Amino acid sequence: MKTESVFHEKVCPKMGSSNRRKYRAIFYSLVRQMVNVLSFLKNSLLKTKVFFLALALARKYRPRTFDDLIGQESVSLSLSHALKNNRLSHAYLFSGLRGSGKTSTARIFAKALLCEKGPTPKPCQECIQCQMANENRHIDIIEMDGGK
Ligand SMILES: [Zn+2]
């Protein structure tokens, strides 16, 4: 209690004891609010970390060719034929359940269109366009996440 009285004598000597109690209550509520904010920040940081880990895994294991794409043989076949015979539409709309391969198909298709050896159903994976597409940093492949 000695430090407290020193504090009150030096910092606010004219403050009455009721005011002291009031300011102490305000101070403690501020501390409590700060602790709440800090724990909220900690939780959201953890969530962001998990989100980025999941994103990294999705990028690492995303199929890179139409042959790697599992379960969408009809789609990859018709897109491959369109690429091979140069019969491309001006826009494509992929629809389907979560995890069915819309994004993967679209990314492979974009890469097939941008590859320096193409448009080809089998992107070379070696040219600068394919490398940038595989590393998710191609300037012409923009993924807009509307679900979040
Ligand atoms: Zn290429």
pLDDT tens digits in sequence order for the chain, 148 residues long = 555 555 555 655 666 778 888 888 888 899 999 988 888 888 888 777 777 777 677 677 788 888 888 888 888 899 999 999 989 999 999 999 888 888 889 999 999 999 998 789 899 989 999 999 988 899 999 988 766 5
Residue 16 and residue 12: Cα distance in Å, rounded?
A: 9
Q: Considering just the CA atoms, what is the radius of gyration of the chain in Å?
A: 29
Tell me the C-alpha distance between 115 and 119, whole Å: 6
Give the helix ranges, DSSP H, for 2-139.
2-11, 17-61, 73-84, 102-114, 128-134
Residue spans per domain, the chain = 3-53, 57-134
Cα 128 to middle of ligand 1, angstroms: 7
Q: What is the pLDDT of residue 146?
A: 65
Instruction: Determine the topology of domain 57-134 in CATH.
Output: Rossmann fold (3.40.50)
Is residue 13 helix, strand or coil? coil
Per-residue pLDDT tens over the stretch 91-126: 999 999 888 888 889 999 999 999 998 789 899 989
Block residue for tokens 């009150």: 8
Residues with CB under 5 A from ligand 1 (ion): 115, 123-124, 127, 130
pLDDT at 128: 94
Distance 131 CA to ligand 1 centre (A): 7
**Position 136, amino acid:** N
CA of 124 to the centre of ligand 1 (A): 4
Q: What is the pLDDT of residue 90?
A: 93
pLDDT, position 64: 85
- Do 133 and 140 touch, CB atoms closer than 8 A? no
- How many beta carbons lie within 10 A of that of residue 26, not counting itself? 10
Q: Which two tokens stand for residue 26?
A: 């305000």
